[in-house]
Amino acid sequence: MSVDLLRELSAVLPPEGLVTDSDVLEAHRRDQAGWAPAGIPRALVRPASTAEVRAVMRLATAHRIPVVARGAGSGLSGGANALDGCIVLSLARMNRVLEIDRRGLYAVVQPGVLNAEVKAAAADQGLWYAPDPASWEFSTIGGNLATNAGGLCCVKYGVTGDAVLGLEAVLADGSVVRTGGRTVKNVAGYELTRLFVGSEGTLGIITEATLRLRPRPPPATTLVASFPTLVAAGTAVTEIVASLRPSLLELMDRTTLRAVESWRPMGLDVEAAALLLARSDAGGEQGAEECARMASLCEAAGGTVIAHTTDEAEGELLLGARRLAYPALERQGATLLDDVGVPLSRLAELLAAVEHIAERHGVLIGTFGHAGDGNMHPTLVFDREDEDAVARARAAFDEILHEVLALGGTITGEHGVGLLKRSFLAGQIGPEALRLHRAIKDAFDPLGILNPGKMF
Amino acid sequence: MSVDLLRELSAVLPPEGLVTDSDVLEAHRRDQAGWAPAGIPRALVRPASTAEVRAVMRLATAHRIPVVARGAGSGLSGGANALDGCIVLSLARMNRVLEIDRRGLYAVVQPGVLNAEVKAAAADQGLWYAPDPASWEFSTIGGNLATNAGGLCCVKYGVTGDAVLGLEAVLADGSVVRTGGRTVKNVAGYELTRLFVGSEGTLGIITEATLRLRPRPPPATTLVASFPTLVAAGTAVTEIVASLRPSLLELMDRTTLRAVESWRPMGLDVEAAALLLARSDAGGEQGAEECARMASLCEAAGGTVIAHTTDEAEGELLLGARRLAYPALERQGATLLDDVGVPLSRLAELLAAVEHIAERHGVLIGTFGHAGDGNMHPTLVFDREDEDAVARARAAFDEILHEVLALGGTITGEHGVGLLKRSFLAGQIGPEALRLHRAIKDAFDPLGILNPGKMF
C-alpha cells in the first residue's frame, strides 16, 4: 500500500511537490518543542495550490494515512511533530499574499506566507496586521492560525483569531469549505472560522485566510519600571489593566534579567525581582499622559521607573531586553518553554508559585511574558545530560501546570496543547468538553487522519 | 405522553417554574421578528438554576420534545419563536450577577440578567461591559450570547463574542459543559465558547457566562456631518476607518432622517442624503484631534460638519437622532428591520443598491446602522393591510439579501439567522459549510430537540 501511495501521490503532485529523501524528512519531522516525541514520516508533500492539497487529502483518505500539516516548524508544543508512516504536508510553497484591500481593510493570504510578510504587505498600503507572536519574523500565518498565536500586542489588539475574517480549508476527505467572509461582523451560522483557528491541524488544512487589517496606531511611548518583589510587579500590572489601555505590558523576572545581562550586558538591575515594560500607543499628549499614569501606578505599587521615552527607536532599545529573554535563557542550558495563563487577579500568585516550585525542585526557572494578559512563559533551564536534572525539570513543569489549574488558569495561553500538554487537557476542560471535542473531531474527520494524537 | 411530560416537569420544578396558562404561553411564543411564524408551545418552563435546566432537558430528551430557549424576546429574526407542542424555556428567573472581579476584569452572570444590569454592576466597580446592542436596556445577556449581538461600540470594541471568556451550558441530554475560563488568552482545546455564542439555542442552553470587563474609556468627543450623496458618505466612512479608530461611526439615510424629523422635530437637514455620527474616545487632546481628523475626512469626501462637541451630554443629544431611527420608522407603518453586512469597501454600493431596490419595488426603505463595520439596517416600511404592498416589501427584502451576497457580504451582521433568513443561509455559506453545521448539530444534539428548524 505504501508504494501505491507514493506512486499515486507522484501522479497528483509535480516532482518538487513530493519528497522522500530521508535528510529532508528528518528536517521536517518535528517542531521546536524539546520534549515531544516525533515519528518518521513516509513522505513530505509540498502542495502549491488548494487543488493539490485536495488531491493529497483524497489519497490520504483512500489509504487511511495520517496527515500532519506544518508551516515553518517554529511551534513550541509538538503540534507539527510527525507520526511514523504519516504524510507531512508542508504549506511552505503556498506563500503568497493574494490581495490587500486597502479600503476593505483586509488581506487574503495563503497559509505559508510569513507573518512578517503580511505585516510588510499591509504596511505598503499604510495599514497594519496586528498579531505579533515572538516568532513573527519566521513563523507562517498558517501556523499562527493553527495555534491561535498570541504575542505582545494582544493586551490591546487581541490574538490571531481576533484578526481572522474568513478561511478556506480542505477537510480530511478532500472537500473544501469556506468560512466567514470579508465583513467585520457576521453571524450567519456557527463560528466555523473560530473553530478551525487553534485546532492544531486536527480539523482541516487551512489553505487561505482573509485577515483583518487596521490603521497603523500612532507612535508608542515606552516605560520601564523595576520592582523589589514579584507581588509588587503583579499589583502594578493589575492596577494598570484595570484603568488604562496599554498597547504592551510585559514582565521579566530576576532569573531572566540575569540571563539577559550576562549574555548582553546592558546595565539591567539584576537585583530587581522583576522588570515591567509598558507601552501606550494612544498617541501624542494622550500617549504621554497614559504612560505617566502607568508610571504612577508602578510607583504606587512600590516600583521604580527607570526609563520613559516617546522616541520610537529608544523604545525599541528598551524593549530589546524583553526580546532577548528566551534566547538568553537558552544560552544557560537546555530549556523547556512553558506557556500558561491565569486570571489577571492571580498573576502575583502565579509568579510566587513558580518561584517556589523552582526552589523546591532545584530547577532554574526564568519567567517572562505577557503580564497584561496574565499569560506567562516560565522557562525551565537544565542540563540535558544530567538525568536527575531532567527528572527535576519534568516534575517542576508538571507542577506548574497543576498550580495554574488550581489558580483557575489555562495550561496554554498561546502555544497550543500539541503533544506537550495533551495529558493535561482533560484536567482543564473536563470530561464533558472533552466528549464534545471528540464529537467535533469525528464530525470533521471521521477516519481520524488529520494530525491524530495531538491536543487530545 | 404530553400529560406525562407535564406531570414529570411539575415534579422537577417549583410551581412558579411551570406555566401552561394560554395567555402566558401566548406572550412567550414569539420574538420581535414581524414575518416569522410561531407555533403554540405545550408549556413554558422558568428554571431558577442550572440543576432545573438539566432536569428539564433530561425530560425533553426522554420525551423527544423540542425546547426553545428565550431571554427577553427582543430578538429580530424569529430565533426564539415557538414550535407547536414545544417547551419554551425562559431564562428570565436566572437573572443574577454572581460575581464581579475588579482585579480579574471579569463578571460571572446568569443568562437572564439584562445587558444594562451587567453594565451597571461593572460601573459600580469603575469598569465597563462594552457590548451595546440597541436593545441593551431590555435584552438579556443570554439573548445577546445566542445571537452574538452587536451594537454601536463594535467598531472599536468588537461584538458580544469578543467579550466572553467562558460559558456554562446544558446540552440536550442534560449534561453540563463548561467552556473557556477566566483568562484573557486560552488556547487549550477547540473554541467551544465561540461555537455556543451565536448558535441561537441550537447547541445548548447557556446557563452562566464569564464576561470580560474593561476599564472605562475616557469621555467621548462627538461629530455630526451631513452628505449630499450616499457615495460621499460611504467614502467618508471608508477613509475614516482606514486611518483612525472611531469608537462609534453610525449612518442614517434621508428616509430615516425624515422619519425622525417628522416624529421629533430637531432641525435635522432632511435634504441631506445621509448623516454620519462619529465619536472618538481617545480622550483629551487626542480625542479632539481624532475628531478633527474625522471632520477633515468628511469634508474631503464632500460632507459638511454640522456639529462637533466634547461635551458628553451634548454628544448624547446629538446621538439622539440615531437612537430614534428605528422607532421613528415604526411610526410610519409596519416595518421589517433587515440586518446586512458588506466588506467596508462596498458600503457605498450597498447603500446605492438599497436605494434602487426601494425605487424599483415602490417600497419605503430607511437605512441606518453601523457604517464603520459595514453593517446596516435597511428597514422596510409598508402597510400591513395592503396585500400588494406586503408582497412588494417581501420581494424587496429578498432582493436586498441577494444583492448583499453579490457584494460579498453577509445576510446577518448581528441579529442572527433565526427563521427570517434560514432559506438564505446555504446561499451564503455553501453546501460544505452547511454539511459541517449539520454534523456539529448532530454531535451536540443527536435527537435534534434544541430549537429545531432555526438557522438551517
H-helix or E-strand spanning residue A356: helix A347-361
When pLDDT is averaged across residues B161-180 and rounded to a whole number, the result is 98
pLDDT tens column, B108-133: 999 999 999 999 999 999 999 999 99
pLDDT tens column, B128-152: 999 999 999 999 999 999 999 999 9
Choosing among A54, A160, A165, A183, which should be mutated to test the B contact, i.e. which has the most B CBs within 10 A?
A183
Per residue, the 3-state secondary structure of B359-426, as one string, reads HHHCCEEEEEEEHHHCEEEEEEEECCCCHHHHHHHHHHHHHHHHHHHHCCCECCCCCCCCCCCHHHHH
pLDDT of residue A171: 98
Q: Which of A61-75, A313-327, A387-401, B190-204 has the lowest mean pLDDT?
A: A313-327
**Quick one: pLDDT band at residue A3, thresholds 50, 70, 90?**
confident
pLDDT tens column, B219-257: 999 999 999 999 999 999 999 999 999 999 999 999 999
C-alpha closest to that of A133 among A162, A161, A153, A107: A153
Q: What is the mean pLDDT of chain A?
A: 96
pLDDT of residue B285: 85
**Quick one: pLDDT band at residue A264, thresholds 50, 70, 90?**
very high
Residue B2 has pLDDT above 90, yes or no: no
Tell me if B138 sits within 8 A of B72, measured CB to CB: yes
Choosing among A182, A190, A437, which should be mutated to test the B contact, i.e. which has the most B CBs within 10 A?
A190
Of the candidates B127, B148, B217, the beta carbon closest to that of A187 is on B148
pLDDT of residue A286: 86
Decide if B189 touches A, using CB distance below 8 A. Answer: yes
pLDDT of residue B284: 84
Alpha helix ranges (H) inside A202-268: 230-243, 254-263
Cross-strand bridge partners of residue A176: A170
pLDDT of residue A34: 80
Residue B388 has pLDDT above 80, yes or no: yes
Instruction: Provide the grid cell at A92.
Output: 511552505
Residue B382 has pLDDT above 70, yes or no: yes
Q: What is the largest CA-CA distance in chain B?
A: 70
pLDDT tens column, A273-285: 999 999 999 988 8
Chain A residues with CB-CB distance to B175 below 8 A: 432
C-alpha closest to that of B219 among B290, B312, B293, B288: B312
How many whole angstroms separate alpha carbon A272 and alpha carbon A228? 5
Smallest Cα distance from A212 to chain B, Å = 11
Decide if A421 touches B, using CB distance below 8 A. Answer: yes
Smallest Cα distance from A24 to chain B, Å = 31
pLDDT tens column, A411-425: 999 999 999 999 999
Q: Is the ipTM of this complex over 0.90?
A: yes
Cβ of A375: how many Cβ atoms within 10 Å?
A: 29
Residue A1 has pLDDT above 70, yes or no: no
What is the percentage of chain B residues whose pLDDT exceeds 70? 100
Q: What are the structural domains of chain B?
A: 3-90 (3.30.43.10), 97-215 (3.30.465.10), 218-322 (3.30.70.3450)
Q: Which of A95-99, A121-125, B282-286, B369-373 has the lowest mean pLDDT?
A: B282-286
How many residues are given for chain A?
A: 456
Each residue of A113-151: b (16+ CB within 10 Å) or e?
bbbbbbbebbeeeebbbbbbbbbbeebbbbbbbbbbbbb
The pair phi, psi for residue B159, each rounded to 5°, is -95, -175
Cα→Cα distances B92→A105, B32, B70, B112, B143, Å: 40, 17, 8, 5, 11
Instruction: Provide the grid cell at A263.
Output: 549574555
What is the number of alpha carbons within 13 Å of residue B396 lying toward its C-beta? 29
DSSP strands (E only) in B111-246: 127-128, 164-170, 176-180, 205-212, 214-215, 221-227
Decide if A430 touches B, using CB distance below 8 A. Answer: yes
Choosing among A125, A129, A179, A186, which should be mutated to test the B contact, i.e. which has the most B CBs within 10 A?
A186
**Do the Cβ atoms of A187 and B245 come within 8 Å?**
no
Residue B1 has pLDDT above 60, yes or no: no
Cross-strand bridge partners of residue A450: A67
Smallest Cα distance from B181 to chain A, Å = 7
pLDDT tens column, B391-448: 999 999 999 999 999 999 999 999 999 999 999 999 999 999 999 999 999 999 999 9
What is the percentage of chain A residues whose pLDDT exceeds 90? 96
How many whole angstroms separate alpha carbon A198 and alpha carbon A76? 14
